[in-house]
Amino acid sequence: MKYIGKEMSRVDGVAKVTGRAKYAAEFQLNNTAYGYIVQGTIAKGAIRSIDTAEAERQPGVLKIYTHLNSLKSKEDGPAFTALQSEKIVFNGQPIALVVAETFEQARAAARLVKAEYEAEKHVTETEKAPAVEARSPKPRGNPQQAFENADVKIEAEYTIPIEHHNPMELHAAVASWDGDKLTIFDKTQGVYGVRDHLAKAFGIAPENVQVISPYVGGAFGSALDPHYYPFITAMAARDLKRPVKVGYTRRQMFTGHGYRPYTIQKVSIGASKDGRLQSIIHEAVGNTSTFQNFSENPNGFGRTLYECPNYDTPYRLAKTDLPTPTWMRAPGAVSGAFALESAIDELAYKLKMDPLEFRIKNYAEKDPETGKPFSSKALMECFREGAKKFGWEKRKLEPRSMRDGRWLVGWGMGIGTWPAMQIPATARVTYRADGTAHVGSATSDIGPGTYTVITIIAAEFLGVPPEKIKFELGDSKLPQAPVQGGSFTTASVGTAVHGAALAVKQKLFDLALKEANSPLAGSKIEDVEMVDNTLRLNTDASRSVSISELMKKNGLSEIAETFTSRPGPERQKYATQAHGAQFVEVKVDEDLGIIKVTRVVEATAVGRIMNPKTSHSQEMGGVVWGIGMALQEATEIDHRYGRMITTDLASYHVPVNLDVYEIETAFVEEEDKIVNPLGVKGMGELCMVGIPAAIANAVFHATGKRIRDLPITPDKLL
């Protein structure tokens, strides 16, 4: 491979650091008006009256939209739509949109909008909210009986607070109409999803909506689903007959796009005296809103992970008077891993076994859920390589047995797994006679390096240097692609680009064989490759055809091929998962309870690595987020008012440079042509999955205290 597997800097890197890359709110249209969202102040009830008179008299104000004068959406469904009725379903709900000539004028007038409410009793505590059954797989074996009969057992409860994504780029949209045709610049992970949402809401044809989102400044799931602001932005633009721009403030981000749900998990595990797992019962309750069920299946995490004959994962949703949660990096899996991998650690200690030895003893060679073989699984190699790099063999089993001066030292570990998914995706590849190429697909790039990895794939199979390829994404006029989420973009869109590139090669090969005395005569398509604007034999570079000359002879300036990739039928015979092992060192101040994550080694098996440079960056980012989840992140709610109160980056804590020490990432590559022709598995979610549990396990090893309630803050250790 000439480009795949080699380090390459981001093709969009210079544009991003110089400001040439435009994000949603940065698009400037002539005569743009600015909207500012006014939020309600109760958690449940109705608006009795709303007074906009004083606000409307302010300089520059064009119009104020409320439920009394807003367009009603034609889209059915449980998702929240703003300004539709007087009903209030969460604190911070938008109750008005003030549109003015400038942002400052809109913001100033918004403060003068007054509302009176008929408040109802609300419930925002997950523990007290009414719960409904969520879909759960059938139990495997007889978990309850096996647990009761087990020689050694543990039962423990773990809680994870609400957490928010907080990407650098705030959500925003700029909408403009030309008759019945809408163009909207939006921060989104899926332009087709926003397109279809707005087409239904306004009752127009989907092809009359163009959604543009070329750059996204971080999302992590916060922009997977369409939120309420694109509709009200487009509504105001249509009514005022001029472009309108609306963006969230940082505080509005906390109620405007969802969050990781509050989760309560009870884990009951039984094992034999020799350390063989007999039963796992992993119960979970997660909060959702009263008007829409959101399910992330946190307790399904371990069903494919350990060889355990009896397994049950009952799951319920607690209906709270809060906004609907949404997907947040490694959704479900990282929450479930914190509970299960902590409980596995607890059981290992009860058995007086090394936690790594215990995991190896219960290693699943095939999928225990289906009995299918894994298409590839190098987790054992991850154990070996990660433990060797970390120096795990020097670990003392007893808690509080390792010190560094005044610091207690703890070593912990965890496992991560994530499904190796592929979703249907379409890409168009245009090869030009001058040896350049254009690639287009309506995927997104929320930061992992999609511009770069797709360029690498196209360069590899078209034989064109990366600098001669232009990859275009983030526009609903491009061929359809799935949202960027779930760690399936490279597997899906990359495979589509691979297929389109092969179709271009096939067309050129067919033309070459028609030539008299063709140097490629007698060869097959798999015998040739495209390299530097030539079509040549793999085994004999002298037998080649100039692509430029071949196209010129046939009157072609370019060849364009569109290809839709789909998961292959062979995948159905296998379990397709990515795996990783995380080893963590913490140091804890015995007097103050301060925790430092001083060293992390993460060994990951995700098939073939496309670009080691951005892949290692992805892994490190997942580790940093895992540190935040374990030690810092929590959205606090004042339950008296049902109001989220840590709604800024001063009170909602995330890791900064001072919190991050040594992170070493290693890849164990797998040869896997079952998952997709490229052999790639997703890594963006996986790299975070086991980290919070590994940190919690290390904290126990350091202190002897088992903290089951995230985040692990000093007050919980003192």
Burial class (CB in 10 A: 0-12, 13-18, 19+), 557: exposed
What is the C-alpha separation between 615 and 611, in angstroms, rounded? 6
Instruction: Please say whether the beta carbons of 585 and 599 come within 8 A.
Output: yes
DSSP assignment letter at 308: -
User: Strands 244-247 and 131-133: what pairing?
Assistant: unpaired
What is the C-alpha separation between 84 and 218, in angstroms, rounded? 30
DSSP assignment letter at 222: T
Residue 393, sorted as left (phi over 0), alpha (psi -120 to 50) or beta, turns out to be: alpha
Respond yes or no: is residue 664 known to be catalytic. no
What is the C-alpha separation between 431 and 525, in angstroms, rounded? 18
What is the C-alpha separation between 311 and 11, in angstroms, rounded? 46
Which helix (DSSP H) or strand (DSSP E) does residue 110 occupy?
helix 103-110
Q: Which residues lie across from 285 on neighbouring strands?
A: 264, 316
What is the C-alpha separation between 536 and 516, in angstroms, rounded? 16
Question: What angle (nearest 5°) sits at the alpha carbon of residue 438, between those of residues 436 and 441?
Answer: 160
- Which one-letter amino acid corresponds to residue 655? P
The backbone torsions φ and ψ at residue 427, rounded to the nearest 5 degrees and listed phi first, read -140, 150
Instruction: Please say whether the beta carbons of 712 and 699 come within 8 A.
Output: yes
Choose, from 163, 283, 296, 685, the residue flagged as catalytic.
685
What is the C-alpha separation between 274 and 152, in angstroms, rounded? 10
What is the C-alpha separation between 83 and 338, in angstroms, rounded? 39
Instruction: Please say whether the beta carbons of 456 and 464 come within 8 A.
Output: no
What is the C-alpha separation between 286 and 131, in angstroms, rounded? 9
Residues designated as active site: 685
